Amino acid sequence: MRKNLLIIAVVAIAGYLVGVESAKSRGKNYEDLRHQLERLWTDPEARKSRKRMAKNARKSLERARKNFLGS
């Protein structure tokens, strides 16, 4: 029993250390991704597209509500 517990503890510690190293190496990629998302969010064409999609979603919701309620 002790041996199994020791093996589990060693594997857990090794997994933690590998995860920490992996997270450190991804730090720069996270910043790049954040900047790309920010640029996409502030793009005028993307804003127009989001507005258009929201408008279509509202219209679809209203149509579905009318069909469901029968009014």
Separation CA 53–CA 58 (nearest Å): 9
pLDDT at 34: 80
pLDDT score, position 28: 64
Q: How many helices (H) and strands (E) does the chain have?
A: 3, 0
Tell me the residue length of the chain.
71
Q: What is the mean pLDDT of the chain?
A: 86
- Average pLDDT on 47-70 reads 93
pTM check: above 0.75: no
Quote the pLDDT of residue 57: 95
pLDDT on residue 44? 93
